[in-house]
Structure 1
Amino acid sequence: MYLLTRRASVQFRQSITVRVIRERTERRTYHGWTWVDCYVLDARGDAIARRELFVMPAGLQPVVDRASRRTKVPRNAARAAR
């Protein structure tokens, strides 16, 4: 998941969160730019639209997916379970 802001492209006046499906390497672009296929995500992380975007990869900011993070277990609790 990535946050796309104006650093990725001037088209993003308001930032959006996306899940990149693939980079379109078969398309010729300007140096430092690329095409990506992605899903635009809502606040819950659900896909609401599929888009093809022209972006600067250096401007893509990784976002931590809260649903996939592991919950930390206190050390004492892990020992007590043995």
Structure 2
Amino acid sequence: MADFKAGDVLHVTRAASIQFIRPITFRVIRMLDWPTYDDWAWLDGYEVNRKGDAVARRTVLVQPAGLRRLSAGQARRARAAPSPTPRLIRAR
């Protein structure tokens, strides 16, 4: 399992967890030692904007294999993909 340390900046997409329909840039505070499934991990940190400013504190459950570490330059350029138009499900 990957080991993340405080200050690591990650690009979190659906490859890490299905909840991330809209990718985020995430700065790690710490990797939590909470019980979870094999090949999953809890991370505590901040969602950051394009400027690198923290906009929301989050605790996320992810598959580390689906995360991409960003360099300082990449973190500044990382952009969230536009949110897809939600599909409406109609009852029949």
TM-score (norm 2): 0.68
* Unaligned ranges ≥5, structure 2: 1-8, 74-92
Greater Rg, structure 1 or structure 2?
Answer: 1
Following TM superposition, by how much is the alpha carbon of 1:41 offset from its aligned partner in structure 2, in angstroms? 0.3
| Cα distance in 1 between the residues matched to 2:11 and 2:35 | 24
Which of 38, 48, 55 aligns to 1:41? It is 48
Q: What's the C-alpha RMSD, in Å, of the aligned pairs?
A: 0.7
Task: Work out the percentage of aligned pairs sharing the same amino acid.
Answer: 45
1:14 corresponding residue in structure 2: 22
**Count of residue correspondences:** 65
The TM-score with structure 1 as length reference comes to: 0.76
Runs of 5+ in structure 1 lacking a partner? Answer: 67-82
